[in-house]
Structure 1
């Protein structure tokens, strides 16, 4: 699958590396422009290309947002992601580094307001980049011992697509439910954030 990643900091670059290692193609974009990505594209090889944010949205079958949260609102024309599986991998913090609240909504529901016709899935935001880089390749005695990545959303097929990517990377996809309640579980103030649960542990927690 051709996956677009907008935001190439530590977490975005790490995701690009493990996607290419798993056989995926990536289209990368950041705020500094395509030429700034030359070293990363050279490292990743022929399965990676640099683009603008709008070009990444046009070329990708699945698009991952990994930019600072507030920048996402005006990042793309709203119609650029109509019908696109859009992964909200962002975490909303305030100026003091504390989790931001959105009243009764999840942060992903705010993203859905910005891009109302995108197929939004909250995912790939709960794991530290250093864990993400290596944990999927660590041998596990059983499948249930794989570390979990989560999907939340209101489009079942979109969640299946993201779950397939998660499995390709060597992690266990765990569905946390709708974009509202499941997204809240994954946010920085939620119980699943920055806890490297195995699939078994995650399922036990969610079902309790």
Structure 2
């Protein structure tokens, strides 16, 4: 299984730190030339590999860590996203009219034709996401929701590998709305920094 993070702002770098902590390789890309962020990637660790967007999207599981309005530009990188899983870590401020009542992730899913989409890793601020998720025997919770049941299992396995405790919330329009930040409407689980003890 190969991994990529698209977007290398605060959230993208926080995710990269989680991979580096476990010595897992991940490609990182933006719409810019990889040279422009190579030193930032190197500062995080040797397993953080700067790539072009065209190369990074060859990964099996791809974190979308760009601003919501930039997701259509990323989606253009491939004509079909068949066989890919997109982890949507975006939040929406302010809410664009074109959402028309849809959860933002359902809107993102439309852009990535053929992909399986999982909403996740979006409810924590970057500094919290970047911190070691294992504290006093507990694992920091990340919430996952998807309309594709098959998509959640590999993302949950990755979350566990990174040291997090994945909690499934069901479909995007059910539990997924609990972690959506939409303008002034906040899901009840946004910014809830929760831990789960080992069973």
**TM-score, length-scaled by structure 1:** 0.84
1:68-147 aligned at under 5 Å gives the runs 68-77=67-76, 78-94=78-94, 102-140=99-137, 145-147=138-140
1:28 Cα deviation from its structure 2 partner: 0.6
1:1-208 aligned at under 5 Å gives the runs 1-58=1-58, 60-77=59-76, 78-94=78-94, 102-140=99-137, 145-188=138-181, 189-199=186-196
Q: Distance in 2 between matches of 1:37 and 1:48?
A: 11
Find the counterpart in structure 2 of residue 204 from structure 1. none
Verify the 8 A CA contact 1:79 1:117 in the aligned structure 2: no
Verify the 8 A CA contact 1:107 1:184 in the aligned structure 2: no
Q: Distance in 1 between matches of 2:196 and 2:44?
A: 29
Structure with the larger strand share: 2
1:157 Cα deviation from its structure 2 partner: 2.4
Find the counterpart in structure 2 of residue 205 from structure 1. none
Q: Distance in 1 between matches of 2:41 and 2:124?
A: 24
Q: Distance in 1 between matches of 2:31 and 2:134?
A: 30
Following TM superposition, where does structure 1 have runs of at least 4 consecutive aligned residues deviating by more than 4 angstroms? none
**TM-score, length-scaled by structure 2:** 0.87
Verify the 8 A CA contact 2:29 2:51 in the aligned structure 1: yes
Long gaps (5+) in structure 2: none
1:71-125 deviation line (CA, Å, top 9, x unaligned): 101223253522201110000112xxxx567343211000111113101000010
Verify the 8 A CA contact 1:107 1:183 in the aligned structure 2: no
Long gaps (5+) in structure 1: 201-208
Question: RMSD over aligned Cα, in angstroms?
Answer: 1.9
1:155 Cα deviation from its structure 2 partner: 2.0
Aligned length: 191
Structure with the larger helix share: 1
1:127-158 deviation line (CA, Å, top 9, x unaligned): 11111122413232xxxx43210110022222
1:5-47 deviation line (CA, Å, top 9, x unaligned): 0111111111101112213211011133201121123224442
